[in-house]
Chain A
């Protein structure tokens, strides 16, 4: 399976209708692929039913039919923050089973359009209703408890988390589509930012944004091939799992992905990871096999995952600084990998990218997709 074109809007707080951002990202992906909507056989989309944005628009599959003025198979695949990755995973399988030639995959979200507490509440709905939501367990709190366990177990510190934030902000500075493009953030600002849910500070948390990302999957051979596409799930609430500090779904999805691609973690040249919280990036280093369990902190301390490190992670700025419009995130990760493989990443271009990995997570490790792309 190959990627023929990619597109995404700037991740921002701009107040555009969903239809506007979907259209913009789809148009860019089509232009990039050299195709028109006439040549698209089906669409797989992902989006959450966010009520607080005022759109009150459900049945997004048919919405896209109206927007694109085309009658064709369209399915929606919501999966929380892993929606984009899951849509791509579903699209790969749909394309194989139906033998579609060209398939459009879209993730979009308009989430920054109400009071912060409403948006927090909206996100809270992704946690378990009675045991978590009822106990005030929003996502920062859920991840804070995980981060605390991880730090106690592995000896990682708040300074390590701050290094992750700094790295991703430095990367976003160079990404015109990032919410923090050309915005400098210092280590002091990060370390002194307000505590959101201890031990996680404001700068340990990803930033909400509105945005959409699209890609065109094709049977035609192109310069970027999807060599692995995996998806795994785990229990919704981390407290229910045996181990809070290592996420089964991530490990399993990665293991299977390396097997599909017939490579090892050492072969990955660049990775876009789901840094919804800085602690998640450290845990992911371990779960994806970039280091051994408990050694995630060493990678960030040694600059291994920096832009100029051996394995640059989140050169787009990640969810942390590019922004996290929920269902668009997974597709935007693939957008970045494709741009890197085509040497179109401008000042954030990493040299000689052959294999790129995208990890997209829903909940605190509840749904994970891993995609590995290869420069052909």
Chain B
């Protein structure tokens, strides 16, 4: 589809969405060309960072109104060929669409390609965005509010009543969902559309048994059709935070901890299998690369919408476009979750591929502080990242911070400068009757944690928090409260 914004009065035409004609002040309508043919083509042989795979073709496409756009593809065409983007033939297909300045049109078109939304007007719908921590939309930590806005517009057009729509999210353990949704701009969008927002952590939950494990799942998620709206991000622990990972916050905090404790590679797929009728419309407007999924990651400017009735398939297609490895929690979330088994519609997938910055599982912002992750929950990992980022520039002797509980004594044998961080790792070391080892517990304040980490980095032995440190911590907290 080729879109132009045209003045109803004077016929001026724009390739950008404008709301009023700057000449005659007339209203603007969208001109959508659907009969598209190839009028030009070039084969490009020189790579650039965002287009590293060569050769590729750029088609010059023209619609029935004479409007033109360029289109990158790896497929071969001839001038005068008709250009068609096929509709999906299979239920679990993934549509991947480039956004041409208009998120609403991109979402709508991606839904068309996979056969539309399987919803009835009377259906009760749960929209599950990503709102994991208080961050501005440009940081790509949370789902872009404009994305939610466009989705709500589409649902309203379909006749879904606003009282039947609920937007619900649970922030990362230790963060507040309302704070996150507020700073992300999602609460404001909910208010604009008159739909409710629920903090999942407050429940209620229903207990469901699966493979011998009891999961406490948000009740609304079990009794509504779910539209999963993740922002597509890298994740230093899981590889990616995408469609599958976004569903992990539909369970209560204790279940989440249990899932990480037992290994998300299997526990998360188990949860996904329990959730029926999940449509994923993924926000790749910016997306995140590098040390995601929080503020240490950076916007990737992907400019994509990915849509599918199969969350795992969608994640695989995302990994393919960004050239990231497919994480185990995604691969295990269904049978034969491999690209070769997935029907992809919309943009030519090969033409989208470019490598975004990968996350590193053992790196922290501080080059002398390394991570050994034994299935820690995101809370501890984020704690370490925040602490280590504050010590950048302070050189010391390398330390390895052990987190999570899935380790044996043998796995730490021979490692000299180990620090245990978080209650899981400390508890496990006690079970293993490990000798004296440095510890940073969750029971002390963040200032004290920082002081301790600093001492561990720069001194020998197992330093402890002094009374002076405790007083400093209290004063800092007090100032922080006053400032707020």
Contacts and interface: CB of A to CB of B under 8 A. Distances in A.
B70 interface: yes
Given A136-B58, A148-B41, A131 B46 contact: no
A188 interface: no
Interface stretch (B48-56, B125-133, B137-145, B394-402): B48-56
Contacts of B100: 130-131
B11 to A, nearest CB: 13
B69 A239 contact: yes
Given A118-B49, A130-B303, A148 B40 contact: yes
B232 to A, nearest CB: 16
Nearest to B56: A136
A131 B303 contact: no
B72 interface: yes
A278 to B, nearest CB: 15
Given A131-B70, A197-B45, A145 B51 contact: no
Given A130-B100, A145-B40, A197 B46 contact: yes
B383 interface: no
Given A117-B47, A121-B49, A240-B15, A135 B60 contact: no
Interface in B24-70: 39-52, 56, 58, 60, 68-70
B70 A120 contact: no
A333 to B, nearest CB: 26
Contacts of A138: 44, 46, 48, 51
A145 B60 contact: yes
Contacts of B91: none
Nearest to A205: B46
A130 B71 CA distance: 11
A136 B44 contact: yes
Interface in A107-140: 116-118, 120-121, 124, 128, 130-138, 140
Contacts of B70: 131-132, 135, 137, 145, 239
Contacts of A117: 46-49, 52
Interface residues of B, number: 29
Given A130-B100, A130-B101, A120 B48 contact: yes
Nearest to A143: B42
B50 A196 contact: no
A145 B71 contact: no
A141 interface: yes
Nearest to B101: A130
Interface string A11-44: 0000000000000000000000000000000000
Contacts of B15: 128, 131, 237, 240
B60 A195 contact: no
A116 B49 CA distance: 10
Contacts of B225: none
Contacts of A196: 44-46
A194 B99 CA distance: 33
A282 to B, nearest CB: 17
B98 interface: yes
B48 A195 contact: no
A134 B304 CA distance: 11
A156 interface: no
A120 B51 CA distance: 10
A149 interface: yes
A347 B59 CA distance: 45
Contacts of A144: 42, 44
Contacts of B49: 117-118, 121
B68 A239 contact: yes
Nearest to A148: B40
Interface in A136-186: 136-138, 140-141, 144-145, 148-149
Interface string B127-159: 000000000000000000000000000000000
Interface in B323-365: 351
B60 A116 contact: no
Nearest to B66: A242
Given A145-B60, A239-B70, A134 B43 contact: no
A140 B55 CA distance: 13
A134 B60 contact: no
A192 interface: no
Nearest to A133: B50
Contacts of A136: 44, 48, 50-51, 56, 58, 72, 351
A65 interface: no
Contacts of B98: 130, 134-135
B23 to A, nearest CB: 15
A205 to B, nearest CB: 9
B46 to A, nearest CB: 6
A198 interface: yes
Contacts of B48: 117, 120-121, 124, 136, 138
B240 to A, nearest CB: 22
Contacts of B69: 131, 135, 239
A140 to B, nearest CB: 7
Nearest to B100: A130
Nearest to A242: B66
A118 B40 CA distance: 27
Contact of A140 (B39, B46, B47, B60): B46
Contacts of A135: 58, 69-72, 98
A141 B70 CA distance: 10
A197 B47 contact: no
A138 B48 CA distance: 9
A196 B58 CA distance: 13
Contacts of A200: 42
A123 to B, nearest CB: 9
Nearest to A199: B42
A141 B68 contact: no
A120 B56 CA distance: 15
Nearest to A146: B40
27 contacts: A120-B47, A120-B48, A121-B48, A124-B48, A124-B50, A130-B303, A131-B100, A132-B70, A133-B50, A134-B98, A134-B303, A136-B44, A136-B58, A137-B58, A137-B72, A138-B48, A138-B51, A140-B46, A145-B40, A148-B41, A197-B43, A197-B44, A198-B43, A199-B42, A239-B70, A240-B15, A240-B68
A-B pairs with lowest CB-CB distance, top 10: A144-B42, A136-B51, A135-B72, A239-B68, A121-B48, A136-B72, A120-B48, A198-B43, A197-B44, A197-B42
Given A121-B50, A239-B68, 10 more contacts: A117-B46, A121-B48, A128-B15, A131-B100, A134-B50, A135-B98, A136-B51, A141-B58, A149-B40, A239-B69
